[in-house]
Amino acid sequence: MIFENKSILVTGGTGSLGKVLVRRILAGEFGTPRKVIVLSRDEGKQHDMRLAYLHQQVTTDEIIYRNFMQALEFRIGDVRDYADVCGAVQSADIVVNAAALKQVPTCEYFPEQAVLTNCMGAANIVRAVREHGYPVETVVGISTDKACKPVNVMGMTKALQERIFIGANVLVSDTRFMCVRYGNVLASRGSVIPLFHHQIRNGGPVTVTSPNMTRFLLSLDQAVDTVFAALRGAKPGETYVPNAPAATVENIANVLIGDRDIEIRVTGVRPGEKMHEIMVSEEECLHTVRRGDYLTILPMLPELRGEKGEGPALNKEFSSADRVLDLDGTRALLDRHRLLRGLEELAEGGELLR
């Protein structure tokens, strides 16, 4: 029971992944935590999340006064700020770093901001544990397929985050640092499916950068499952990767449009975009093994590799171009995760499924 009587810090805990992660930790499926701490910058999102857990309308003063008495605790702060990180990390047994700038165009225009959040935020967590000797047992860095052979700033900074956490195991040997890496999360904030929902609701057109572009797809719960699997089984410096399917952007658009008379308009590849994403590179596949349902990239640093064991699980890179679902497969995937039902609710005047 990995969370039994543990204090868990989730940076960026009000984001799409963070909210599902917090909900499932508090549900107790892997033990009852002593405390779950959410560190993030947006007081409005924290307030909404706090109300959702209280299940009743109470005054703002009452909520804030009781904040530190609850199992779910909120802290306003930024991973960029070392003092904020120290204040949150010092009481944590487990840290999940989900704080990130993840929008590709935003990071292209403001690369220094991406460096501060995605790289320096990770470095601040490592520094806090190393300099103060906080008894943190495990740190998990949330990464992305864009970190594999990166061509955009978001991917480059996430690749550096991976290296920061992996390298931390050498100098902070009492804490286990590892990463998880996965593709596009269905219906997460800022992803293509909420955009398509919005465009369909407004009568189109649905904008597709390139019809043949492919992307790995998994649900928020599958992303959280990957974090839990790494917490249970990863060794220091390892990176867990789910066996995710992929789909073309055109098929995603066609499935969501259905029989509606809505135009698909091709707009061209945006700066920093790849046609196909890679989850495990050709170089990494040589030191990738299987752990249950997951691929595990072993650390490159010799101090962390340990004894040579099983052979590689892959003989080529793990690309979204190799795992493409057809139109029916894409429809089944989106239906399984209730994303088609979200559009039906929209058509009936309901709220957009997020």
Dihedral (CA of 277, 282, 287, 291) sign = positive
- Please identify every stretch of the chain with a pLDDT value under 50, giving residue numbers as ranges: 56-61, 63-64, 343-354
Burial of 175 (0-12, 13-18, 19+ CB in 10 A): buried
Reported as a single tens digit per residue, the pLDDT across 162-203 is: 999 999 999 999 999 999 999 888 877 767 888 898 999 999
Q: How far apart are CA 213 and CA 222, in angstroms?
A: 22
User: Catalytic amino acids?
Assistant: 146
Q: Do residues 41 and 76 touch, judged by C-beta distance below 8 A?
A: yes
Residue-level pLDDT at 300? 92
Three-class secondary structure assignment of the chain: CCCCCCEEEEECCCCHHHHHHHHHHHCCECECCCEEEEEECCHHHHHHHHHHHHCCCCCHHHHHHCHHHCCEEEEECCCCCHHHHHHHHCCCCEEEECCCCCCHHHHHHCHHHHHHHHHHHHHHHHHHHHHHCCCCCEEEEEEEHHHCCCCCHHHHHHHHHHHHHHHHHHHCCCCEEEEEEECEECCCCCCHHHHHHHHHHCCCCEEECCCCCEEEEECHHHHHHHHHHHHHHCCCCCEEEECCCEEEHHHHHHHHHCCCCCCEEECCCCCCCCCCCEEECCCHHHHEEEECCEEEECCCCHHHHCCCCCCCCCCCCEEHHHCECCHHHHHHHHHHCCHHHHHHHHHCCCCCCC
Residue type, 50: R
pLDDT at 185: 87
**Beta-carbon contacts of residue 44 (< 8 Å; ≥ 6 apart):** none
Q: Which pLDDT does position 351 carry in this prediction?
A: 34
pLDDT of residue 11: 98
- The whole-number pLDDT of residue 310 equals 72
User: Which one, of 71, 65, 31, 39, lies nearest residue 53 by Cα?
Assistant: 71
Tokens at 194, concatenated: 């909420």
> Exposed (0-12), middle (13-18) or buried (19+): which is 113, by Cβ within 10 Å?
middle
CATH architecture of 7-347: 3-Layer(aba) Sandwich (3.40)
pTM of the model: 0.89
Task: Identify the pLDDT of residue 63.
Answer: 47
User: What pLDDT, on the 0 to 100 scale, is given for residue 309?
Assistant: 67
Domain ranges of the chain: 7-347
Q: What interhelical angle do 16-26 and 220-233 show, nearest 10? A: 60
**Are 211 and 248 contacting, i.e. CB atoms less than 8 angstroms apart?**
yes
In this predicted structure, what is the pLDDT of residue 323? 87
What pLDDT, on the 0 to 100 scale, is given for residue 307? Answer: 62
CA distances (Å), origin 77, targets 38, 102, 153, 187: 9, 18, 24, 26
Q: What pLDDT is recorded for position 190?
A: 67
Note if the bond before 205 is cis, omega within 30 degrees: yes
